[in-house]
Amino acid sequence: MSIEAFGAACIRRVASFLAVGAGLLAGGCAEEVSIGEPAALESARLASSALGADRTEERRHHGSGGARGRWRSRGVGGGGALFSPSINPHDGREIFMASDMRGVYRTRDFGRKWTNLDFRNIQGGVLSQFRFTADPDVLYAVTYKGPENVIFDAATLAKSTDGGATWDAPVTTPGAPGDAHYLFVDPCDTERLLVSDTRQLYASRDGGRSFHLVHTTDWPGGLRVGGVHWDGDDIYAGTSDGLLVSRNGGASFALDTSIGGLPQGEKIVSFAGAGHGRRARFFAVTFSAADSAGNPLVTANTTGGELDAYAGLYRLKLGERRWIPATNGLGPSDKLAFVATSADDPGVAYAAGGDRQTLAPIVLKTVDGGASWRHVFRSDHNANIATGWSGFGGDMGWDFGEYALGLSVSPEDSRRVAITDLGFVHVSDDGGKSFQQAYVDPADDNRRGADTPKSRFYRTSGVEQTSGWWLTFPDKDTIFASLTDIRSAYSEDGGRSWARDGANGLTLNTTYHAVQHPITGALYAATGSVHDIYQSPWMRDARIDGTQARPARGGIMVSHDKGATWSLVADLGRNVIWLALDPNDPDQLYASTVHSQTGGIVHLDLSAPGAAPEPLPAPPRTQGHAFNVHVLKDGSIVATYSGHQPGNTRTFTDRAGVFLLPPGAPAWEDRSSPEMHYWTKDVVIDPNDRTESTWYVTVFSHDDRFFGGLYRTRDRGLTWQRISDKVRVESCAIDPRDPDRMYMTTERDGLWITENLNDDAPRFFRDDGYSFQQPVRVFWNPHDLDEVWTVSFGGGMRVKRVRALIAPRRAAPGSSARPARRELAAPAAQRPVGGRAPVLHETRAAVVTSSPDRPRRARRRAAATRSDAALAQRRRA
């Protein structure tokens, strides 16, 4: 569909014409943010006076029905990289943005609240983009959503025809499979698209059903498409090869070599146009094309993080033959990566990047077509910025966000601007006169013109893109979260609000694990300078061990005030990832450390301050990549070692597995199934087995043999049974109220549940109320067992409450039978996995035997009352 009108006028006409059928950007949201206090007045202003406000209010409750509110985001807000903010031209309060951790976030009130779109519909990434069309219901995106049970990344096109509620409308992705890069859509049409892969640019004039090749680069770094300006049949694409122009609606493109002004050795990385016909004006940001050795600095994958290659900012009026430098107003340490305009206001443009001296994000604005620029994001003492916990003087300064990773200006209203960076999102609705943080509840704002206070508590707005590893519950009100990048978070009100206290004594990048001494109440934490250990690709020696100039660091910290402040117990000189206290003598602490030469498990006597940590012998086959460690009641020690990649390679060695050190034994016993030799994750000891012989071990697939899954032993690792074949299983947790119920977390497939864990072949069902793809671990609040929490790899923390009833259940083998509490309702839209027969592995001889898949216990009881023929028929089915 094409609308013969120009710019914002065309968008207004189409928006009016299609208002009755306009859909909601609902995205299948499976959770919502709970905000308990009225929003601040300044934030209420941001959410008002937008086109389509009435329509958005009508859409408010459109969504995913029963799944809504099951899991709620909790945390301090922000803390991870955000990309590609996109303001809806039909409703200026609506914004999409993505994180590099696969999350896609949407707000319908200009940043007061955000929802995380369900990963089964769409997934984000560094190059995610969200494009609106002339029809409010038709959207296109670059998504990183791939098939289930895969171990590779794929970027493809997605299309929605219902305003973003679903993303399964037919569309093809041209070029190399899974290699979608840049996407641009005619705002006055629904059918015209431009899409690139690493080296080629393709055009579609039928809504993505088919594409034709229009340009191929010979630049070694690939093709960067910085932006596209649509003007009827005239289309202008600013690329790393130059300005590509079509005069026939996209049927063909050619480089306009008649336009000069860009110095040799510079390439366009960001491009924007405004106005139409003779009024059109273009802006471009360039980077140096290559370094002194000739290596490309501009590539198909260039982001705002490469801003140190910034070369220049230029402007061009249509009809002129030369780009003109447009740097009046820029400081000597200002480096840019983005430029953006509003469709019909050629005098106004914004540019964003970072100040490399203050290490703060910057936004500049021109109102005279680029002749002069002025800073409008004034971070010094937060002059015009209402901040969250990051800002001048805050728990983390502006250097945490550091530089822009995305910039959007509303095509309909040049006063509406959004900027994202390495940690946060900020918005303005008054043309940059003021900015507002949009990652914590607006009621928790810190006022403009004042330094950001330290140690305050905040509630999230729903932007939760940090990675979490562990939760500790010192008492009924206090929760301590072990996190990456922002190090930790601390709550004193049961998780409703959180502090990211920059002065709490935790100085290394990541807190991985924390345990509480059962007698003194002290917390001990495992910390390290390297983040995301044992996530791909953080298993390489080159990344984990550090260098002579910058060695890895790590240690054990202690808190005597429930996690509010911390001090050093032992500096181990390498990353520490796990801790365990001996249940028979909790003053004996064991720590897992990570280093290819010096890593392993060490023992520390807490009753002897200053005593040197004592290393335990290395288990067979391992090379310093210790992970979980548990001390059993009989004094045995169980440990997992995880993936190892030597040097800077991506080759896995067989250094992983699960190991047992019996009491008084001089050496470890290898209790690994062969599938565990490459990328083992957690070992969970079944708390319902009084002999502690039942263990669950999670495994990631490392190649196309697909060894991943969930494995169970009932004899301390002598034999193993694979009870789930999901390709990458992170961890699992058994419901303390029900020994038959377990949550299982996965890397790409979300959160799963079984309610017949102790059967020979448990059946797992997806928890459809959990919308993020990679939960890491699940926790029950020990002070309130109806409260369940998750931490995730890039999706923050989430919580739900589940009421339970007392119901008799079969206990785990070796346990004392006790009634278990049963949930009132199972997860919505449960979907079973498999039904494949369990496989037993004898650890030493690697003998594989099979046993038939048994029906569930309830079915066996029902079958006993029926005829033999009916029973046989059901078994055959």
pLDDT given for residue 815 in this prediction: 53
Please name which of 576, 678, 588 lies closest in space to residue 627, comparing C-alpha atoms.
576
Using CA atoms, how far residue 275 sits from 16, 189, 325, 369, 761, in Å, is 21, 17, 20, 11, 64
Using CA atoms, how far residue 147 sits from 121, 123, 152, 770, in Å, is 11, 12, 9, 18
Please state the rounded mean pLDDT for residues 595-618: 96
Question: For residue 57, what is the enclosing H or E element?
Answer: helix 53-59
Please state the rounded mean pLDDT for residues 700-725: 97
In degrees and rounded to multiples of 5, residue 517 shows phi and psi of -65, 125
CB atoms within 10 A of CB 258: 8
Sign of the alpha-carbon dihedral angle for 252, 253, 257, 260: positive
DSSP at 617: P
Which of the four pLDDT bands, split at 50, 70 and 90, describes residue 537? Answer: confident
More confident call, 564 vs 851: 564
Q: What is the pLDDT of residues 96-135, one digit of tens each?
A: 999 999 999 999 999 999 999 999 999 999 999 999 999 9
pLDDT given for residue 152 in this prediction: 74
Is 602:637 a contact under the CB 8 Å cutoff? Answer: no
Distance between CA 744 and CA 765 in Å, rounded?
A: 10
Please state the rounded mean pLDDT for residues 244-269: 97
pLDDT given for residue 856 in this prediction: 32
pLDDT given for residue 810 in this prediction: 53
Is 710:724 a contact under the CB 8 Å cutoff? Answer: yes
Please state the rounded mean pLDDT for residues 410-417: 97
pLDDT given for residue 394 in this prediction: 97
Instruction: Extract the tokens encoding 654.
Output: 């067989």
In degrees and rounded to multiples of 5, residue 859 shows phi and psi of -70, -35
Q: What is the pLDDT of residues 153-165, one digit of tens each?
A: 899 999 999 998 8
Instruction: Extract the tokens encoding 68.
Output: 């809504």
Q: What is the pLDDT of residues 301-331, one digit of tens each?
A: 999 999 999 999 999 999 999 999 999 999 9
Give the range among 144-148, 556-560, 564-568 with minimum mean pLDDT: 144-148
Sign of the alpha-carbon dihedral angle for 845, 851, 853, 856: negative
Q: What is the pTM of this model?
A: 0.87
The three-state secondary structure class of 276 is coil
pLDDT given for residue 91 in this prediction: 96
| 626 bridge partner residues | 641
For the chain, the first-to-last Cα distance in angstroms comes to 50
Which of the four pLDDT bands, split at 50, 70 and 90, describes residue 589? Answer: very high
Instruction: Extract the tokens encoding 358.
Output: 């203050």
**Interior/surface letters 685-719, b for 16+ CB within 10 angstroms, e for the rest:** bbebbeebbbbbbbbbbbeeebbbbbbbbbebbeb
Which of the four pLDDT bands, split at 50, 70 and 90, describes residue 814? Answer: low
Please state the rounded mean pLDDT for residues 442-459: 97
Please state the rounded mean pLDDT for residues 261-282: 96
Please state the rounded mean pLDDT for residues 659-677: 97
Q: What is the pLDDT of residues 494-523, one digit of tens each?
A: 999 999 999 999 999 999 999 999 999 999
pLDDT given for residue 833 in this prediction: 36
The three-state secondary structure class of 323 is coil
Please state the rounded mean pLDDT for residues 207-214: 98
Please state the rounded mean pLDDT for residues 595-609: 97
Please state the rounded mean pLDDT for residues 455-479: 97
Q: What is the pLDDT of residues 784-803, one digit of tens each?
A: 999 999 999 999 999 999 87
Q: What is the pLDDT of residues 336-394, one digit of tens each?
A: 999 999 988 899 999 999 999 999 999 999 999 999 999 999 999 999 999 999 999 99
Q: Answer yes or no: is pLDDT of 877 > 50.
A: no
Residue 573 CB burial class (10 angstroms; 0-12, 13-18, ≥19): middle
Which of the four pLDDT bands, split at 50, 70 and 90, describes residue 811? Answer: low
Q: What rounded mean pLDDT belongs to the chain?
A: 87
pLDDT given for residue 812 in this prediction: 53
Longest CA–CA span in the chain (Å) reads 89
Give the range among 111-115, 142-146, 197-201 with minimum mean pLDDT: 142-146
